[in-house]
Structure 1
Amino acid sequence: MECFRVDESGYTGFDLLNLEQRFQGAAAIAIDDDQARRLIQEHFPKLQAEELKYRALSRRPANHPRLLALMRDVLTHHKCVTYVCDKRFLLLLMFLDYAVEPYYYVRGCDFYKDGQNYALGSLLYVAGPLLGEAAFEQLLVCFQRAVKEKSPAALTDLVAAARATRWQELPEALGPLAQYAAPECLQAIATSGVTTDAAFVVLQSLISRMEVMADGPYLVEHDQSKNLLTYHDLLLRFINHKDEVTFRQSEIASLTFPLKLQSVTQVDSRTSPAVQLADVMIGAAIEATNTLTGQRAGGLNPHDVMSLYADHQIIHMLPSTDFEGQKRFRQDTQANEVIDYFDKNFSKP
């Protein structure tokens, strides 16, 4: 049976404002260990380390041509997908989901129609600091804390933080909290199972592509790292969900249950060359994104890395002020239904 090997990078749990790790992602490759071992030996015949690790290899410029050639072979000859998200942007989307959308929902407005939430999230990403940079940052800190703690004190602090911004300049996004302290929004934030952990979003996107790429039933193997334990639990819940339903998520993505995915297994990456290749793919993508956005310097040339990918091989969740393009991409999607369905069936009690 076909098996996708998965690895992640940038996971920081509920904290999506971590300055050292602005981006999170994961990669999946349909390749077996024998094929992966041959590729590694071909491109790194003198490798002395116990396992292939992107971070260690990318530090040496002499390894850069070999890493690019290895990635080119993987992308050319194997089914694979890489997902990268801007965690700050994702936190803003979550803010809109829980601190804004419930206000509109009870008033009969479809907040998600044609991706309006993505457009507003992108606008907040760019213009939010103009509402008072320190105050807007504190708002995000308070939102993240309120979702985690769910205490009356944390919710009160969140409303106060919203009111401390120049919210009147963007009342569509900040008014529900700042002007009304909307109880429906505070209740949504305090709901058990609501979290700012990005693992669910990353996995949902990765699975939507694996389901398309797989010819039939398939398996997933991933590393035994502590970070991936969250991914493992979510994958098991996806696998065990047997309802028959399909959701259109964007112009190019949909998700159907039951999944073709049959099982998920944890393996030691030191004994899995295939998982090591997944580490290379996601490591290079995260590093390239950091470099392109000015977060870090060094490593592979990001333009060389990104030029290796076909459009269907990379997914990203990044802010975009091309509002018309976003509307076309997400026209007639079922975002509202997807969120309700996943909250009902996959949120932990």
Structure 2
Amino acid sequence: MNCFRIDESGYTGFDLLNADQRFQGASAIAISDEDADRLIKQHFPKLQAPELKYRALSRREANHPRLIGLMRDLLSDFRCVTYVCDKRFMLTLMFVDYAVEPFYYERGFDFYAGGQNYAMASMLHMAGPTLLGKPQFEALMAAFQRSMKEKSEEALRDLVAAARATNWMELPEVLGPLAKYAAPECLEAISTPDLTTDVALIVLQSLITRMEVMSEGRYRVAHDQSKNLQTYTEFLQRFIDHDANVEFRATEITSLKFPLKLTAVEQVDSKDSPAVQLADVMIGAAIEAANNLAGLRSGGLDAEQVLSLYADDQFIHMVPSIDFEEQKRFRQGSQSGELIDYLAGNVFGPKKR
């Protein structure tokens, strides 16, 4: 049975405003430990460390050509997918999903049609600091994150107050539900038990959509024994256990169909798994590239060169986009709203609405 090895980077749980880790992501590679060991010895024949670690290798410029060569071989010869998201944008997208969308849903509007939620979140993320006031926008996002975590009446009151403290009339279609109406349906959605700003589920869902396409038959997943990845194990097991026959279209190129071809998940010690070490290299390079392109870090591999190695269907990114027409085309016919409700109601807990 095929096995995808997974590793993650940038996980900070519910805290999507973490200043030190702006991006989060994960990589999945269908490669055996034997092939992985062969590639590591081929590209790093003098490696003395007990395991291959991207961060340690990328610090030395002499390793850069070897890392690029290793990644080129992986992406050319093995089934791979990498997902990276801007966590602050993801928080803004969640704000639109829970602090805005329920207001429109109650009034008969399909907020997910044509990716309208994505377009609104992109606009809010990119223009919000200027139109609403930068300190006020940052305070609003912090209040939203806190309210999603605490679920308390005090946190919800503070969220409404934070919305009203912005120049919300500049974006009334976005901030009006909270600032003008303190919409009960939005506050109820935010108060949903077990609903958090943790994006591990979103990361996994994205990887699964590609792994399902890349796998002709049943497959399993193996990943490191880190505390962060324990959350991934729990989510993956819920996906595996769901045996209903149902399918949802997410974008032009992705869908999610149950029951999955994925049949098992296990945690392994990365020191004993060269394949998991290669997953670490893939996601490490992608996160480093994202930080460099955003101007948050410098050094390491050339970001443009790293991204040029990927085919279109090997790299998934969730970042804001102002190309609204392209996003509308890409997400036309999306069943994202139905998928969110289905997963919430049937796989991961109570429904959002």
Fold shared, TM-score > 0.5 on shorter chain: yes
In 2, Cα distance between equivalents of 1:313 and 1:272: 22
Cα drift, residue 346 of structure 1? 2.7
The corresponding residue for 1:153 is 154
Q: Any idea what the Cα deviations from partners look like across 1:214-242, whole Å, max 9, x if unmatched?
A: 01000100000000010000000000000
SS across alignment from 1:52: coil
- The residue identity in structure 2 corresponding to 1:55 is R
The answer to whether residue 297 in structure 2 is matched with residue 296 in structure 1 is yes
Contact 1:86 1:318 (C-alpha < 8 Å) held by counterparts: yes
In 2, Cα distance between equivalents of 1:297 and 1:280: 18
- The residue identity in structure 2 corresponding to 1:152 is E
Q: Any idea what the Cα deviations from partners look like across 1:287-334, whole Å, max 9, x if unmatched?
A: 001101101000000011011111111001010000000000000111
* Alignment length (residue pairs): 349
TM-score, normalising length: structure 2: 0.98
In 1, Cα distance between equivalents of 2:102 and 2:16: 22
The answer to whether residue 97 in structure 2 is matched with residue 97 in structure 1 is yes
Q: Any idea what the Cα deviations from partners look like across 1:187-238, whole Å, max 9, x if unmatched?
A: 1100102110010000000000000000100010000000001000000000
In 1, Cα distance between equivalents of 2:144 and 2:239: 28
The answer to whether residue 76 in structure 2 is matched with residue 76 in structure 1 is yes
Cα drift, residue 347 of structure 1? 2.7
The answer to whether residue 36 in structure 2 is matched with residue 36 in structure 1 is yes
Summarize the alignment of residues 28-67 of structure 1 with structure 2, pairs less than 5 Å apart: 28-67=28-67
In 2, Cα distance between equivalents of 1:140 and 1:286: 23
In 2, Cα distance between equivalents of 1:162 and 1:287: 34
Summarize the alignment of residues 138-217 of structure 1 with structure 2, pairs less than 5 Å apart: 138-217=139-218
The corresponding residue for 1:26 is 26
In 1, Cα distance between equivalents of 2:96 and 2:126: 15
Summarize the alignment of residues 179-258 of structure 1 with structure 2, pairs less than 5 Å apart: 179-258=180-259
SS across alignment from 1:220: strand
Q: Any idea what the Cα deviations from partners look like across 1:149-195, whole Å, max 9, x if unmatched?
A: 00000000000000000000101111100000000000110010211
Cα drift, residue 342 of structure 1? 1.1
SS across alignment from 1:234: helix
Summarize the alignment of residues 303-342 of structure 1 with structure 2, pairs less than 5 Å apart: 303-342=304-343
In 1, Cα distance between equivalents of 2:128 and 2:274: 44
The corresponding residue for 1:275 is 276
In 1, Cα distance between equivalents of 2:35 and 2:71: 14
SS across alignment from 1:70: helix
Cα drift, residue 80 of structure 1? 0.4
- The residue identity in structure 1 corresponding to 2:196 is T
In 1, Cα distance between equivalents of 2:306 and 2:109: 42
SS across alignment from 1:3: strand
SS across alignment from 1:63: helix
Cα drift, residue 348 of structure 1? 4.1
Q: Where do 4+ consecutive residues of structure 1 move more than 4 Å?
A: none
* Structure 1 runs not aligned, ≥5 long: none
- The residue identity in structure 1 corresponding to 2:34 is D
In 2, Cα distance between equivalents of 1:208 and 1:115: 18
Identity %, equivalent residues: 69
In 2, Cα distance between equivalents of 1:348 and 1:251: 28
SS across alignment from 2:325: helix
The corresponding residue for 1:345 is 346
* Structure 2 runs not aligned, ≥5 long: none
Contact 2:168 2:175 (C-alpha < 8 Å) held by counterparts: yes
Q: Any idea what the Cα deviations from partners look like across 1:3-43, whole Å, max 9, x if unmatched?
A: 00000000000000111111000000000000000000000
In 2, Cα distance between equivalents of 1:347 and 1:175: 30
In 1, Cα distance between equivalents of 2:241 and 2:195: 21
SS across alignment from 1:201: helix
In 1, Cα distance between equivalents of 2:337 and 2:57: 43
The answer to whether residue 105 in structure 2 is matched with residue 119 in structure 1 is no
Contact 2:238 2:348 (C-alpha < 8 Å) held by counterparts: no
The corresponding residue for 1:16 is 16
- The residue identity in structure 2 corresponding to 1:127 is A
Contact 1:194 1:347 (C-alpha < 8 Å) held by counterparts: no
